[in-house]
Amino acid sequence: TQGQIITCKAAVAWEPNKPLVIEDVQVAPPQAGEVRIKVLFTALCHTDAYTWSGKDPEGLFPCILGHEAAGIVESVGEGVTEVQPGDHVIPCYQAECRECKFCKSGKTNLCGKVRLATGVGVMLTDRQSRFSINGKPIYHFMGTSTFSQYTVVHDVSVAKIDPIAPLDKLIVIFWFHDLCIRYTLHIGLGAVWNTAKVEPGSIVAIFGLGTVGLAVAEGAKAAGASRIIGIDIDSKKYDTAKNFGVNEFINPKDHEKPIQQVIVDQTDGGVDYSFECIGNVSVMRAALECCHKGWGTSVIVGVAASGQEISTRPFQLVTGRVWKGTAFGGFKSRSQVPWLVDKYLKKEIKVDEYITHNLTLADINKAFDLMHEGGCLRVVLSM
């Protein structure tokens, strides 16, 4: 198939909020600096649903969504040296070129090389899409578009992971299965390890106990936090959250006072670190304001809808609270995703526990319905 157009199945979002349609999509060969990947498994994330809903200012239609996946390199374009056909890889929505101002700064995991192109659904080389249906272009999404059996990504967005002995098909399947989730998981872990640098003994508040919040809890526990307070409007979330390190729970609906006040009262002045894992701007404010005067740090992980803005009294910052955010968990994608995979293999971080449902690409709309139900963490689709 190298150098040829591949026709395969992909879930196309034709319009905001309209059911995804499984279509036969033509995937062009990779050009210079690009990699074509056979996607084996993909997971669904609320960020996909958010763009699909039409609330993402960068959302473009028609497009192929999806950004959590694992697969095998099918072919590479000119000049690609770090991966070759057959390599096991994770496409990353955050690139790492190691050459741009961002990568060289040592201050951020963000990369500037391909972001302008990925933000408008095209490839950098020629500003075109590699996806089409009977000649009509379909936009890429987040530089990954993993709801397709084949996708084309920039080489700077591909993390190569340990090759595994091809013992038998089943093992390969389980292996990749885990990696889909690993990818999600590290967002939360990174928010704790990289962005907040939680110290042993810290008091941590986590707003929203979905997959991201649970991964933050796992990271906080590993960092030695003494109190990990989970806050969710769904009290059932505490049952699962206990297994990920959450040792106290508050449902804001059980209190008349604002949630930040409840937390300040219960923590002798506030928490050392808080994480907003919902995407709700008024909760972001509460998360900042429940932090301890002088040092409390609040990290925004949730993605808020187009037009939403955060606010607080500047006095909150004047008196030493710090407000920050994190993308891709603060991890350098190509360098650190393989390291995270090793940590999983050594059983140092959980993965399997985040998978609650397994379906196939054909059932993708059902998978999104499941995702919005209470008991669901991650749905993994086999392609």
When asked if residue 189 is in the footprint of ligand AHE (CB under 6 A), the reply is no
Q: What is the rounded distance in angstroms from the CA atom of residue 221 to the CA atom of residue 184?
A: 18
- Among the listed residues 28, 277, 291, 379, the single contact to ligand NAD using CB under 6 A: 277
Select the residue interacting with ligand NAD from 30, 71, 77, 210 (CB under 6 A).
Answer: 210
57 binds, among ligand AHE, ligand NAD, none (CB under 5 to 8 A by kind): ligand AHE
92: contact with ligand NAD by CB under 6 A: no
Task: State how far the Cα of 136 lies from the Cα of 308, in Å rounded to an integer.
Answer: 33
> Which tokens belong to 288?
């900042």
Which string of x and - marks every residue 295-324 that binds ligand AHE (by CB under 6 A)? --------x---------------------
Using CB distances below 5 to 8 A depending on partner kind, what does residue 332 bind out of ligand AHE, ligand NAD, none?
A: none
| Identified binder of ligand NAD from the candidate list 30, 59, 91, 208, rule CB under 6 A | 208
Q: Interface residues for ligand NAD in 214-273 (CB under 6 A)? A: 231-234, 237, 252
Distance CA 114, CA 112 (A): 6
Q: Which residue in 7, 93, 88 sits closest to 43, CA to CA?
A: 93
* Type of residue at 35: V
Please report how many Cα atoms fall inside a 13 Å half-sphere around the Cα of residue 123, on the Cβ side. 27
Give which of ligand NAD, ligand AHE, none residue 334 binds (C-beta under 5 to 8 Å, depending on kind).
none
In the 3-class helix/strand/coil scheme, how is 115-148 assigned residue by residue?
A: HHHHCCCCCCCCCCCCEEECCEEEECCCCCCCCE
Q: Which is nearer to ligand NAD, 158 or 379 (CB)?
A: 379
**Is residue 91 close enough to count as binding ligand NAD by CB under 6 A?**
no
Calpha distance 291→351 (Å, rounded): 30
- Give whichever of 267 and 298 is closer to ligand AHE, judged by the CB atom: 298
> Residues 279-318, buried b or exposed e (16+ Cβ, 10 A)?
bbbebbbbbbbbbbeeebbbbbbbbbeeeeeeeeeeebee
Q: Give the CA count within 13 Å in the CB-facing half-sphere of 15.
A: 1
- For residue 122, the partner it binds in ligand NAD, ligand AHE, none, with Cβ less than 5 to 8 A by kind, is none
If contact means CB under 5 to 8 A according to the sort of partner, which of ligand AHE, ligand NAD, none does residue 357 touch?
none
The token pair at 233 is 């409007």
283 binds ligand NAD, rule: CB under 6 A: yes
62 binds, among ligand NAD, ligand AHE, none (CB under 5 to 8 A by kind): none
Q: Give, as ranges, the residues between 290 and 329 that touch ligand NAD (CB under 6 A).
A: 301-303, 326-328
Which residue shows structure tokens 């272009």?
A: 137
- Verify binding: residue 153, ligand AHE, rule CB under 6 A: no
Residues between 105 and 134 that touch ligand AHE (CB under 6 A): 115
* Closest distance to ligand AHE from the beta carbon of 245 (Å): 21
Residue 175 binding: pick among ligand NAD, ligand AHE, none (C-beta 5-8 Å cut-off by kind): none
Strands 21-27 and 136-138, by their bridges, are: unpaired
Stretch 326-345: interaction string toward ligand NAD, x if CB under 6 A: xxx-----------------
Give residues with Cβ within 8 angstroms of 135, minimum separation 6.
none
Q: What 8-state DSSP symbol labels residue 352?
A: G
Please list every residue from 48 through 87 that binds ligand AHE, using CB under 6 A: 56-58
Contact between 47 and ligand AHE (CB under 6 A)? yes
212 binds ligand NAD (CB under 6 A): yes
Helices vs strands, H then E, count in the chain: 11, 17
Regarding 361 and contact with ligand AHE (CB under 6 A), the answer is no
Q: Which stretch binds ligand NAD (CB under 6 A): 39-47, 126-134, 156-164, 265-273?
A: 39-47
Closest CA to 11 of 2, 19, 20: 20
Is the CB of residue 290 less than 8 Å from the CB of residue 277? no
Q: How far apart, in whole angstroms, are the C-alpha atoms of residue 261 and residue 259? A: 5
Measured distance CA(30)–CA(152) in Å, rounded: 6
Residue 279 within binding range of ligand NAD, rule CB under 6 A: yes
Q: Which residues bind ligand NAD (CB under 6 A)?
A: 45-47, 50, 187, 207-213, 231-234, 237, 252, 277-280, 283, 301-303, 326-328
Q: Which residues bind ligand AHE (CB under 6 A)?
A: 45, 47, 56-58, 115, 303, 327-328
